[in-house]
Amino acid sequence: MGSTSAHNNGEGVGRRDLIKRSAALGLISVPTMGFLSACATGGGGGDDKETKAPGGEKSAKNPLGVKKGAAMEAFIFKGGLGDQYAKDAEADYNKTYGVTVKHTGTQQVGPKLTPRFAGGNPPDVIDNSGADHLDMNKLSTQGQLQDLQALLDAPSLDDAAKKISDVIHPSTIEKGKHGDVFDVLYYAFTIYGTWYSQKAMDDNGWEYPKTFDDMVKLSGDIKKKGIAPWTYPGKYPYYVHFNLFGQIAKIGGMEEWIAIDNLEPNAWTKSDAVKQVVEFYEELAAKKYFLEGSQGLTHIQSQTAWNKGKAMFIPNGSWVENESAPTTPKDFGMAVGALFDGGAGDKMPQGTLRAEPSEPYIVSSKGKNPAGGMELLRIMLSKKHAQNFATKVKSLTCVVDATEGMTLSPGLASASSVFKTAGDNLISLQLQEWYPALTDEKIGGLTGQLLTGDLKAADWIKKTQAYADAVAKDDSVKKFKREQ
């Protein structure tokens, strides 16, 4: 996602620049995918991904063969992004196909839909986000997810000469595959980082620090002013991992992090980067640089304390601008900073950023109207609806250049700027998505103790390795592997 200046000066965009144009997501307050063990699906398996519903006549204007008047159902996660953006796209679908999409906005996607998949009557299109999402790996294995290749091959609503695959960022396609089958559309991007008020920094003559040492020094200055340097949602300490894990990859390099993703023996204990990063958080805790009482706060409460100026920095994802909007002062100047430098030995340079495709949409292959489900996604991937998403939720979609010429909100403009600076130095991690019980519950519990000063860095590392080893040996947990 380019900065506003790049939008205005007509710079060309190469393939490598595309991610900068499709930046910032607004997701939810938890990792996107994760895998619930309790997602029974039933209803047969195999590789039957063909659309069985009676289709309509395919034409230039109806490339997916949607039957006019056929019922269609959408199930949309209603978290930090709300669901109005989806309703707006549904309104255009309704006009075109002469129906009213049956819409459900919910935070309980998994609990509500697990029995429906088991019963063979799932909704047609699902925004599968939130803490209680469906296990997409299991659904894909059982043939419950529609192969979305037809969507990728369909013409864009904005330019019939371009396929959908031409107008979305390539990493969206890469991440949405199970094996060779593209069956998940990540509609947006999240960037993770350290969020702060630009106004508060300017008022005090401070600059966002570039290194761990600078951050520790600045935190001391902030504390002297009677402000807590940091807060975090202690009820969900895995929020700290959004930065902590990214820092390990930035300092140690992706090869070291991929060993962690792959649950390799001693991946945590043999890494100097892990030691350096965890000791940084141990130092912040020892010097009491966290807002008192943070360990008892929810994500909303910690964001509100931050908005009210009680703390300067908060680890978060780019959904925070929309989610915390009700308590954000007008002149707050929401901004996000990249990962800190550890030292001269860092494997990745200053400005490196963690950024990932997010907000997974799936279409049920055994729904009543899979063609309609794909068509709704095609509508959402138009510039009109990508811009509507950016306006409504202060976030961008995977549609390249969709926000050309738009005025961006402060947090989104800041995200744009750090994306431009990062260039190709972008980090994407899998551990939190593949093994959420490990990261959010087990390691999260350790991180909570680390930040209150009740656990030393060395013990955090040793216990984290033991938890990872236990998952590696547990045959009941499906394993995934990243290539180096």
The token duo for 200 is 């508060």
pLDDT for 292 equals 98
Segment 50-75 shows an average pLDDT of: 85
List of residues 6+ apart from 333 with CB closer than 8 A:
197, 198, 199, 200, 202, 410
In which residue are the tokens 């909007």 written? 325
Conformation bin of residue 170: beta by default, left when phi > 0, alpha when psi is -120 to 50: alpha
Segment 431-440 shows an average pLDDT of: 88
Segment 35-51 shows an average pLDDT of: 35
The one-letter code for the residue type at 360 is P
* Percent of the chain whose predicted confidence (pLDDT) is above 90: 71
Name the pairing type of β-strands 334-337 and 185-197: antiparallel
pLDDT band at 54 (very low <50, low <70, confident <90, very high): low
CB 347 within 8 A of CB 253: yes
Name the pairing type of β-strands 125-127 and 177-178: unpaired
Segment 437-442 shows an average pLDDT of: 94
DSSP state of 237: G
**Between residues 382 and 395, the one the model is more confident about:** 382
The token duo for 48 is 């039957």
Contacts 24+ apart (CB under 8 A), 7-14: 7/403, 7/404, 7/405, 7/406, 8/405, 13/400, 13/401
How many angstroms separate the CA atoms of 288 and 292, rounded? Answer: 8
CB 338 within 8 A of CB 421: yes
pTM of the shown model: 0.78
Is residue 164 scored above 90 in pLDDT?
yes
Q: pLDDT tens digits, residue range 230-241? A: 999 999 999 999
Domains and CATH numbers, the chain: 4-190+357-406 (3.40.190.10), 192-354+430-473 (3.40.190.10)
Helix boundaries (H) for 295-409: 299-307, 320-323, 370-380, 383-393
